[in-house]
Structure formats: C-alpha cells, structure tokens
Amino acid sequence: MSEIDQYAVIGHPIEHSKSPRIHAAFAKATSQRMSYEALLAPLDGLEKTWVELRARGGRGANITVPFKQEALALCDQLSERAQQAGAVNTLSVMSDGQVRGDNTDGAGLVRDIAENAGWSLAGQRVLLLGAGGAAAGVVGPLLAAGVAHLCIANRTLAKADRLALAFAGLGSMSTVANSELERANDSVSYDVIINATSASLQGKTIALHDSWYRASSAVYDMMYGFDTVFLAWAREQNISRRRDGLGMLVEQAAEAFYLWRGVRPETQSLLASLRAELS
C-alpha cells in the first residue's frame, strides 16, 4: 500500500477534467501528503476502477459523468445531500473501511453564487433549467439557501415533477415544461436563472419569453470555459449579471477536499488563475 493517500476523479470521458490540477493546488497550499489523478473507467467498469484504486491506497474519489447515479451502489452510507440528489460525486473511505457517498455539487453552486458572485439567493425566485443529475444535485442546497420559490423546467414535464416530488416539503416549488418557457409568463419573473442542462455543450440554447426574466436577473450556466450560447443569449438580452460554472467546479472540489482532509482550502487565487488561463 502506498504511503501517500491516493485520490482520483473517475469518469468517461475524463481527459478534459481540471480536477487533478485543482486538487494538486489544494494539496500544495494546505501541505497535504496526497496524490490525485484522472481515471478513465469503461462504461461498465466503475466498480472495477474504484476497487483497483482502493487496492493501491485509494482514500477517496470524485465521480463525474456518467457515473454519479451508479456510484450510489458503491456506498455503505450516504450523506443527506446524496440521498436527496439520488447521486454521488464524492466517495470517502472511512476509518472503519466503509465507503461514504456525498454530493458536493449543490454546495459548490451555492457558494459560487452567494460568495464569489455576490448574488443573493435568500428570498429570490429561481428558475432551474433541467431535471437531470446536475439539477438533482443542487435542488436541496438551493432550497436550504432560503430561495423564495424554485421552478424546475424540463423538456419532459414528468421528469421535472419527479424531481420536485423528491424535495416536497422543503420549500416552495413548481414545475414547467420547456415548451411553456417560450410563452408569456403570467406569474412574477425570476431573479436567478440557472442552466443545468447539456444544451451549451451541444451549442444550443433554451428559448425564454422575455416575461420570464428582467435585465436585472442573474443568469448562471453550469458549463464553463467558454462563452456558452446560453450566456451569449443573456448578453443579447442586456442581462449584465452572467456567470459560467468554473467557480462551481472549484468550490465543489474544495468541499470534497474538506471531506477527505478536514481542511478547507482557499479558492479565490486558484479560481482567478484558472479564469485567466481560460480567457
């Protein structure tokens, strides 16, 4: 077994991941003796990849697309966040050898919006675009942040309904089909709009009637590293508060690092460095 604690991010694909760079910076800044690598798992090989990592000293792993829901089966225990989301993005080997699953995506999003961007969430009306795994990971933390109302929009309304039902009783929520977003909204417009869909990766945007937002609304795209079509659309609507998901990536990693090492790394200098590289 290695004397250095081993960590990794497991996904498919994985070559684009910035997680090794991020965690190496965290480890250096906090004087942690550990290593972190990117592991490409076959689409049917998540468990095998995780077992092999543990066999050589693995103490934890980040799980990314497309394995976050499958990772639930690797866990002996789950955090409340992972239970709510129905997905795991962080595996930790506990002192008794049991594996604990957590989901740090929502904490990363909320911290980036509220602290890094300085946008208020408490008392705000939030429109969440998408009802897949990315959306599921952030609903609980958004409600916990005190939003006044959360509306989940999805191409398939039934999927949005199922997601909202999983969080019933935790806050004011509603659902809507994407097709309705193109029509006039009779209710109050939204203060914060978050894109949790893969539309930006596909070069697509989601049409929104101008009654759903205001120029003072804040628009957030979980995708990062380029001026996404969704953010470009927001700019065309003269919406000045726009942000990509790079900060969410860094902050969710910091939350995972804290779970593993008991130390919360400073994120601002690394985020600024990554932002400069990408620009």
Residue 76 to residue 99: CA distance in whole angstroms: 5
Q: What is the rounded CA–CA span in Å between residue 140 and residue 131?
A: 13
Helix (H, G, I), strand (E, B) or coil at 268: helix
Contact predicate 38/9, CB 8 Å? yes
Query: Does 5 carry a binding-site annotation?
Result: no
Q: Is the peptide bond before 66 cis (omega within 30 degrees of 0)?
A: yes
**Who's near 44: CB < 8 A, 6+ residues apart?**
none
**Cα dist. 72→48, 93, 150, 271 in Å?**
14, 14, 26, 30
155 is in an annotated binding site: yes
**Active-site residue (options: 28, 48, 68, 204):** 68
* CA dist., res. 21 & res. 37, Å (int): 9
Flag whether 248 is marked binding: no
Task: Determine if residue 134 is labeled as part of a ligand binding site.
Answer: yes
Flag whether 116 is marked binding. no
Asked whether residue 133 is marked as a ligand-binding residue, the answer is: yes
- Does the annotation flag 156 for ligand binding? yes
Q: Which helix (H) or strand (E) holds 272?
A: helix 268-278
- Quote the CA–CA distance of 166 and 151 in Å, as a whole number: 14
On whether 197 is known to bind a ligand per the annotation, the reply is no
The answer to whether 19 is annotated as binding is yes
Q: Are 166 and 138 in contact (CB under 8 A)?
A: no
17 known ligand binder: yes
* Contact status, residue 83 vs residue 108, Cβ threshold 8 Å: no
158 known member of a binding site:
yes
**131: annotated binding-site residue?**
yes
Both structure tokens of 43: 């689409």
**Residue 202 annotated as binding?**
no
68 part of the active site: yes
Please report, in range form, the residues annotated as the binding site.
17-19, 64, 80, 89, 105, 130-134, 154-159, 222, 224, 245, 252
Annotated binding site for NADP(+): 80, 130-134, 154-159, 222, 245
Residues labelled as active-site residues: 68
Annotated binding-site ranges for shikimate = 17-19, 64, 89, 105, 224, 252
